[in-house]
Amino acid sequence: MIEQLEELRARALEELGRIEDLARIEEWRVSYLGKKSELNQILRGLGTLAPSDRRAVGQIANDVKSVLEGESTARRVQIEKMLRQAEIARERVDVTLPGRPTRLGQWHPLTAVTREIVSAFRAMGYDIVEGPEVEWETYNFELLNIPAEHPARDVWDTFYVQAPDGLPGGKMLLRTHTSPMQVRVMQNRKPPLRVVVPGRAYRYEATDATHESEFYQIEGLAVDEHLTFADLKGTLTAFAHAIFGPERRTRFRVDFFPFVEPGAEMAIDCHVCRGAGCRLCKNSGWIEIMGAGMVHPRVLEGVGYDSSQYSGFAFGMGPERVAMLKYGIDDIRLFKTNDLRFLRQFAL
């Protein structure tokens, strides 16, 4: 029986040493120290032993019991400690690690380009003004020397809107360009004046890779005594250098807009192929940037300026087009799809 107890102790301790979780400790306790355990049977059967053996066996059995109890408690404490340490290691926070960067918002590429263009003119002393997108027909056309039935109106397919009751006559429309602001600014200021006008314009046009029915324009106007075409060229060349690089060359060719005389179309030498010819410039070596010209005397007279005293120049460009050229974007519709994969490329 003593041998049995010793074998029992060795087996129990060996098993205990391999246990690594609390549930198994409890099972172990039930099987080695519980009511139905081998040890308990021995202890309960002590009475049946010869009195001479009872003492020795009883003592050893009690020793085994207290060793097993002591060892199991120690093992439990050890396992609890291991579990706690594992948990601490899992939940450990390294406060010295650098924080995860928070993604900051950024300008939409059109906003960024518009700001860049406007700043280039601001550096040349231009004010920034804005005006209404719903406009009187007379500002959009008549006062810009585009009378009704003038064929030039066909260039601007127009969205007309219902004018509210009670307003003075005339038709209302969504402005087809920012040029009506030339008239509004001249009516409200006296020369000398220099302004740029960023804003939306609308045309009743089918959408394609280079046209939207809602788009932006940036208008420019300078009026003073003795302004000449040379001033226009110098100003727009300085603008092209600021936006497309100081090595850009500019080209002015005759174009027709009813509100300027002479009218011009301005181009820069292609900044991708440097004039050699490529896909961007359609092999011409030149990229058209904007319409411009000397303010027509009829427009000056229409706002009450004396056209023999004052002269001016005006220009109008599409910031979408400028952004497309600057960043090699081949479809204007990308600006409005809200695709973050597209927009995030322009973290300027």
**Using CB under 6 A as the criterion, which residues of the chain lie in contact with ligand FA5 when the complex forms?**
177, 179, 203, 205, 211-212, 215, 217, 219, 257, 260, 290-293, 314-318, 320-321, 332
CB nearest ligand FA5: which residue?
Answer: 318
Which entry of 120, 201, 240, 314 is annotated as an active-site residue? 314
Of 12 and 146, nearer to ligand FA5 (C-beta) is 146
Q: What is the DSSP string of 267-305?
A: EEE-TTTTTS--TTTTTSSEEEEEEEEEEPHHHHHHTT-
Q: Is 265 helix (H, G, I), strand (E, B) or coil?
A: strand
Q: In sequence order, what are the residues at sequence separation of 6 or more whose Cβ sits closer than 8 angstroms to the Cβ of residue 205? A: 157, 211, 212, 213
128 backbone dihedrals φ, ψ, rounded to 5°: -105, 125
HSE value, Cβ hemisphere, 13 Å, CA-based, for 242 = 18
- 160-161 β-sheet, strand order: 134-136, 172-174, 160-161
Closest contact distance (angstroms) between CB of 211 and ligand FA5 is 4
Of 25 and 292, nearer to ligand FA5 (C-beta) is 292
- Asked if 206 and 306 touch (Cβ cutoff 8 Å), the reply is no
Which entry of 9, 75, 194, 203 is annotated as an active-site residue? 203
300 backbone dihedrals φ, ψ, rounded to 5°: -65, -45
217: annotated active-site residue: yes
Which entry of 12, 28, 112, 156 is annotated as an active-site residue? 156
CA dist 164 and 317 (Å) reads 31
Exposed/middle/buried for residue 255 (C-beta within 10 Å: 0-12, 13-18, 19+): middle
Of 12 and 117, nearer to ligand FA5 (C-beta) is 117
Closest contact distance (angstroms) between CB of 194 and ligand FA5 is 14
Closest contact distance (angstroms) between CB of 103 and ligand FA5 is 30
Closest contact distance (angstroms) between CB of 94 and ligand FA5 is 52
HSE value, Cβ hemisphere, 13 Å, CA-based, for 253 = 7
Of 64 and 290, nearer to ligand FA5 (C-beta) is 290
CA dist 14 and 74 (Å) reads 14
Closest contact distance (angstroms) between CB of 311 and ligand FA5 is 14
Q: What is the DSSP string of 63-126?
A: HHHHHHHHHHHHHHHHHHHHHHHHHHHHH---TTSPPPPPPPP---HHHHHHHHHHHHHHTTT-
203: annotated active-site residue: yes
Which entry of 64, 113, 183, 217 is annotated as an active-site residue? 217
Closest contact distance (angstroms) between CB of 168 and ligand FA5 is 25
Of 29 and 233, nearer to ligand FA5 (C-beta) is 233
Which entry of 196, 260, 264, 322 is annotated as an active-site residue? 260
177: annotated active-site residue: yes
Of 64 and 240, nearer to ligand FA5 (C-beta) is 240
Q: Which residues are catalytic?
A: 156, 177, 203, 217, 260, 314
